[in-house]
Chains A and B, each alone.
Chain A
Amino acid sequence: MDKRLYAAGLESPAAETERNALRPEPVERRTESAPSAAHGASLMVLTGAVRMSVTRHSRRWVLGAAAGLGAAGLTGCGLLDDEPEPPEVPDPLQPLLDEAVALAASYDRAIVSQPGLATRLTPLADDHRAHATELARLIGKSLPSTSASSVPSAPAGAAAETVASLRTAEQTAQKNAVAACKSAPADRAALVGSIAACRATHAEALR
């Protein structure tokens, strides 16, 4: 009996109906004080009404879940309707542009500290500047102007060391450009591919 009552706790109207089954006026009794299970369920959905007092835990859970849904719904609306677009999503090629500018600057520094390498390094620096110009045009940005005079000069090392470190930088930059080419949309693949190939030829030229 105890067990049956406990199990019926979640649906006491049914249990009550069952208990009342032998009584002469079950229909009247049901409408009077015990709404049908279906009626109870619709109340729960709409308002989380009194009927749930039998199952406090569930009610709390239901209300919490409803509140959570409401909050999620509001947040969703906020993202879609209210907040303006983030001001500037960086172009996927921005890192490639930054890298081209940085490489040109490292060549400029190397030339300042090793004037003897100027003939060999200047054309390579110019290539990077050409890449930066093209990428900036494609992205729709103006290029920050840097000149060799504004570039802090690196400590003078041996020419061979300078060349070796530039070569390493070119190899890394080439890998980055290859990755950028592989993920680029069709209309950018050729330009980015040429930049990747150029960086590879630089590494070769510095051997």
Chain B
Amino acid sequence: MNPQLGAALAAEEAAIYAYGVIGVNLNSRGDETEARMAEQAHRVRRDYLVARMAQLKASAAPSPAGYDLPFPVTDRASALKLAVQVEDGVAQSWRPVLGVTTGADRGTALAAMTEAAVRATRWRRLAEVTPVTLPFPGRPA
């Protein structure tokens, strides 16, 4: 379970970083609220993973100070595109946790994956990307 939790933690930390970049490139109150709520949700998941891994005495790789963005983020369109990509990536990172956990741990992983998938759908709608859903959220494309 530890490598999977470690991967989910890395994805959550990357998401927190990415929302910093996304936030400054959004320009409407609605978008910004959305981004702030998403970032907060990722912080909660990050804290859960740090605590759970400490319980399991699992070591996590230190998070990098910065990340290479997959493309330049300079405006709303590219910010929304990054938000979609980040949430899809977070969902993908939680999916392998499902198979290595049971009970409450699996429930948490499923909730984290589902919430990321729902946020990806919200960002797609804001970005006017269709379709707004994926048939198998979390499954690598």
Is A8 part of the contact surface with B, judged by Cβ < 8 Å?
A: no
How far apart sit A193 and B92, CA to CA, in the bound complex (Å)? 11
- A204/B114 contact (C-beta < 8 A), A190-B96, A194-B137, A197-B137 known: no
Is A187 part of the contact surface with B, judged by Cβ < 8 Å?
A: yes
In the complex, are the beta carbons of A201 and B138 less than 8 A apart?
no
Among B113, B120, B135, max chain A CB count under 10 A is at: B135
Per-residue interface assignment for chain B, residues 80 to 124, with 1 indicating a CB less than 8 Å from any chain A CB and 0 otherwise = 000000000001000110111001001101100110011011100
In the complex, are the beta carbons of A197 and B91 less than 8 A apart?
yes
Chain A contact surface mostly:
helix
Is A189 part of the contact surface with B, judged by Cβ < 8 Å?
A: yes
Please count the residue pairs between chain A and chain B whose beta carbons lie under 8 angstroms apart in the complex. 86
In the complex, are the beta carbons of B118 and A201 less than 8 A apart?
yes
In the complex, are the beta carbons of A197 and B138 less than 8 A apart?
yes
Is B62 part of the contact surface with A, judged by Cβ < 8 Å?
A: no
Q: Which residues of A contact B107 (CB under 8 A)?
A: 178, 182
In the complex, are the beta carbons of B99 and A201 less than 8 A apart?
no
- A131/B138 contact (C-beta < 8 A), A186-B100, A197-B110 known: no
Chain A residues 70-123 with CB under 8 Å of chain B are 119, 123
- A189/B91 contact (C-beta < 8 A), A131-B135, A198-B137, A200-B114 known: no
Q: Which residues of A contact B103 (CB under 8 A)?
A: 182
> Chain A residues in contact with chain B, CB under 8 A?
119, 123-124, 126-127, 130-131, 134, 178, 181-182, 186-187, 189-191, 193-198, 200-202, 204-205
Nearest 5 A/B pairs, CB to CB: A123-B131, A189-B98, A130-B135, A194-B136, A197-B137
